[in-house]
Amino acid sequence: MIQLPFPPTLLGDLHAVDQIVRERARARATVIRAADPYVLSPDESRLRAALALLSAQVGDYQLERIIHAAAAVELIHAATRTHNDLIDEGERRRGQARQGDWNNGISLMVGDYLFALAAGEMSLSPDPRVISYYSQAVMQICESELAPIPALRPLERARAQYFAHTGSAAASLYAAACRAGAACGGLSVEQVEALGQFGHELGLALRIDEELRDFRAHAGESLRRGITTLPLILAATDSDGARLELALDGNAVDHDWAVEEVLRHGIAPAHADRNPACDEPASGDHRGSVAHTNRSAGCQGRGCDGGNRNRHEFATTASDEAAIASAAATGSRMFHRASRSSPPGPYQSVTVGNRTSIPRFPKGPESSVSRAGSA
């Protein structure tokens, strides 16, 4: 169960999006059985669609203007999940894809079918920029799958490659969903980009959080698979990088030691390390984007408010539910500042799942929001 803070007013519109996704996938009897596990999975929270709807609510919200873009991003997500059955990142080592089973025609065809459905939904969106946002996101996802998995050393390059790779693979659809929603809500170019930047960092942090959880739950299986994760990079900063690299290359003798080192030097700092000033990112070559987004949110560095500081900490060292919630809360304030509306009030939560709690994005001024079918 994922606990997501969708306000009751959003759930009805999200249900309408879900109905479109299900109806499109079930339109042809021949693909129902194959597509259902990917499109109708009970674990899916429709978070990307929710971000599109919430971003549109910052502006002139009309469900009929955003519903197809919201459905499209979920169909794209489902398509990428099916194609991931063909190229499993866990089966790649240090930039070399293993010779796997490329004859999985079902996953290939279902993925292609879902991409085609998504294209149809995009064509129904009133703003043509939606097509550009989603096509760029898909290209970034493909590029990340084709790019080498970052080597562990040198550390600065590994960190830069990690954020570039993970940002493309995990965050691009979140960013595109926010941009699409903002565009359909009639927001300015600056507001669209501010929302897109927040979606990118939210998606990136969710992936980091997932890596940390997976490392603990599966005793460092990512090490055994040769995957360079952020905890491993952080551990190599304070531990024996050369020996960790041997474990990454499949040295079973060093595996148990490496797991302990990552738990001690990689995961713990991700929880404990907090940078005191917004103008001093803790680490990582994504610091430019962090600084840019902080400026978009009104952050002025050392004198910034606690919310922006929390969001900065989240963007650089995010690893737990509290950091994610803090970032989302500050993101909602950023949206309101960009749209010149009053700050949001208390947050509400609606349980639709089980991993992380993210404050909802309250709507903009009532005078600028209209629901489908209303004046």
Please report the domains of the chain, with CATH numbers, ordered by start residue: 2-89+106-217+273-363 (1.10.600.10)
Please identify every stretch of the chain with a pLDDT value under 50, giving residue numbers as ranges: 1-2, 42, 89-103, 270-325, 327-328, 334-375
Q: What is the pLDDT of residue 338?
A: 45
pLDDT of residue 174: 95
Position 176 scores a pLDDT of 97
- pLDDT, tens only, 107-134: 788 888 899 999 999 999 999 999 999 9
Provide the H-helix boundaries in the chain: 8-25, 29-39, 47-57, 63-84, 105-123, 129-146, 155-166, 172-184, 189-217, 221-224, 230-238, 241-248, 255-262, 268-272, 287-296, 306-317, 321-338
* pLDDT for residue 229: 77
pLDDT value, residue 34: 65
Q: What is the pTM of this model?
A: 0.67
pLDDT of residue 204: 86
Please tell me the predicted confidence (pLDDT) of residue 164: 82
Contact between 144 and 165 (Cβ < 8 Å): yes
CA distance 328 to 311: 8
CA distance 227 to 345: 42
| pLDDT for 16 | 95
